[in-house]
Structure 1
């Protein structure tokens, strides 16, 4: 149902499967027939987990029991007994402009060695920070996806939704240098063995670059670079609707985690441009 009707991504399907199998094991294979008391005990066992993890597990189970009810496999839905961790959504981790500058300085030093893998690293980072792609979207790019002279590419993201992604001149140049080292018969832009580069390996490479830039590696990941892309665009004057399109968010509510940046920009704008700023008594 999640794949056919909801259009869930492969990563979402994998996460749901992990959560459902884990919950089923905890209930000795009786998940489908679990009662409220069973789910209360299950939820109590999650007390040591992060709030976001508990929320994800609860969401997976609520979806599961909703499915059973919709299909007539159960007459009730006991999922109300699952925990609903409160509190607002945490602000995304991001990087300052100075952090990004340090990372690109480290990247320039790598590229100066003219080693093929340095060109690969440059292409990966330019696309991550320059376009805001998800890690899974980046590593699975076909070899010909980025075309010289084309300022954008078409990506199929979560739920099979297509979107246009801008590609900067810097990114185009970096990709072209790397593509010269990619076998002509390769299916992927970032091949690795018979498949493409894995998300885990990309994660490791980004952290290695952070270390070379003198940035604590726990502060940097491919997703943090995606957040930096979004945050810095907002700081530069982009609006949330544009950002929603660029990031491929189906719902503007997802993009609204960045409103703290937009709000700060608006306050600064009012303080700098409002006609009463320089009026007599404005310092009172």
Structure 2
């Protein structure tokens, strides 16, 4: 065991010390790919959990071999970790060790022959158009918080935004006059998304009446501040969505992306081009968007079965 490993093993009894190789890798990811804080946090979590395992074996990250990675994956399998979680872990490790290889810290990539588990292609949860109408109509406009939430829900559905993109939206990103919103998505990629008339009306009404009440004279460039006048967290808004779904009697399983999925599915159901939906969602790869064609086809098949006399 090297001096560094011995020192880290001693530290482990008191408090875990992150390996010094991890942060430079994350900094490199951020500078080259412009990944979001959430994505970087996922990479950090995967690598730190693996690092703890490696330390417990008296090893260091740069001395890891294929057998040790397989031992870790077997341990996760025994603990019934989801396949999607293990697939993400392998992706994190692969990126990390490719970085170490380029830095000449290691000579052999231990992940080269490690294959991720095969994942079932799940259709994303979505809402019917009637469910969306009920959900968006639930917030009360006479309450400043619910007026804000109504505008947020309308914008989320009208533009297919990610929740992170929504809560971090600033005033200079919205042009009600031109009817567009400028989104800075994953990888710091910008896209312009048109606003629908209903979303424009709701946002305009909210900006005039409810937003000043929420800010209470404080300055902020966040479009949808919390009651404290600061940027709302994703978790807070997610709890708000679940509240309105409960009040509206919506039994469909909801996720933070449900309205984004509904946006894409309803566009395709009404004849939108897949490439256009890709651009609106901000997907870098068309294959990511193609899952929605399965959603649309499933919906059409259900309609055919329900209404056709020989269905």
- Give the TM interval when normalised to the shorter protein: 0.7 to 0.9
What residue is the counterpart of 1:275 in the other structure?
Answer: none
What residue is the counterpart of 2:7 in the other structure?
Answer: none
| Structural mapping, 1:1-284, within 5 Å | 1-28=28-55, 30-47=60-77, 48-80=80-112, 82=114, 84-107=116-139, 110-111=140-141, 114-180=142-208, 181-182=211-212, 183=215, 185-192=219-226, 193=228, 195-216=230-251, 219-263=253-297
What residue is the counterpart of 1:279 in the other structure?
Answer: none
What residue is the counterpart of 1:276 in the other structure?
Answer: none
Q: Deviations over 1:99-149 (max 9, x none)?
A: 212213323xx22xx010111110110011111011111001113432332
Contact 1:146 1:175 in 2 (8 A): no
Q: Deviations over 1:185-236 (max 9, x none)?
A: 21201123463111111111111111111123x7123311100100000001
Distance 1:81 1:44, change over 3 A: farther
SS at match of 1:78: coil
Q: How far off its partner does 1:158 sit? A: 0.7
Unaligned runs of 5+ in 2: 1-27, 303-309
Unaligned runs of 5+ in 1: 269-282
The total of aligned residue pairs comes to: 267
Q: How far off its partner does 1:263 sit? A: 4.2
Name the CA distance, whole Å, in 1 between partners of 2:137 and 2:232: 24
Q: Deviations over 1:24-55 (max 9, x none)?
A: 11221723321111101111122111111111
Name the CA distance, whole Å, in 2 between partners of 1:132 and 1:167: 10
Q: How far off its partner does 1:83 sit? A: 5.1
Q: How far off its partner does 1:177 sit? A: 2.0
Contact 1:128 1:222 in 2 (8 A): no
Tell me the TM-score normalised to structure 1 length.
0.86
Tell me the TM-score normalised to structure 2 length.
0.79
Q: How far off its partner does 1:18 sit? A: 1.0
